[in-house]
Amino acid sequence: MFEVTNDVSRRTITARMSGFMRPNEMREFATIYRKATDSYSGGRHLVLADMRGLKALEPESATLFSDVINHGRKNGCVMCAHVSDSTIARLQTARVASEASPNDDITMDCVSLDEAHVQLAKARSRFFLGSEHGTAQAR
C-alpha cells in the first residue's frame, strides 16, 4: 500500500508506504512519486518518507525504489526524513538511499512522525526562508 501527496505550499512530498511493495506496485509508486518530484522543475523540495509498516523489499522493488530516490535527489530533494518501525526495513532503505546517493547527507532517520515534522520545519526555515524577501527560493 502506498500514498503520495505533494504539499506545494510547503514544498514537501509525503510518501507513505506499508506492507509488501511488490514490483508492480513499486512501479506505480515510482511513476506517481516522479511526477510529484518533477512538479518542482529541479527546485528544492523536502520529502517525508513514512515507511511505518513497510516490509522488506524484494530485489526488483528495491532497485526500482533506489531509482526513484536517485531521481528525487538529482532533481532538487534537499532533505528526506525517514520514519520506520522495522529495523530490517530501516536498514534496507538506508542501504538503498546510500546507493542512490553515496555521500548521503540528506537522509534523516527519525524515531517518530512528530520528530520528522520538527526536522522538516527546521529544513524549511534553512532552505526556504533565507532569501532576501522571505519567500521560498526556487533553486
What would the pLDDT profile of 77-96 be if each residue is shown by its tens digit? 999 999 999 888 778 877 77
DSSP one-letter code for 115? H
pLDDT in tens, 17-29: 999 999 999 999 9
Give the whole-angstrom CA distance, residue 78 versus residue 80.
Answer: 7
Buried b (16+ CB within 10 A) or exposed e, 30-46: bebbbebbeebeeebbb
Question: What pLDDT score does 96 carry?
Answer: 78
Given a cut of 80, whether residue 98 has pLDDT beyond it is: no
Please compute the mean of the pLDDT values over residues 100-112 and round it to a whole number: 82
| Predicted TM-score of the model (pTM) | 0.86
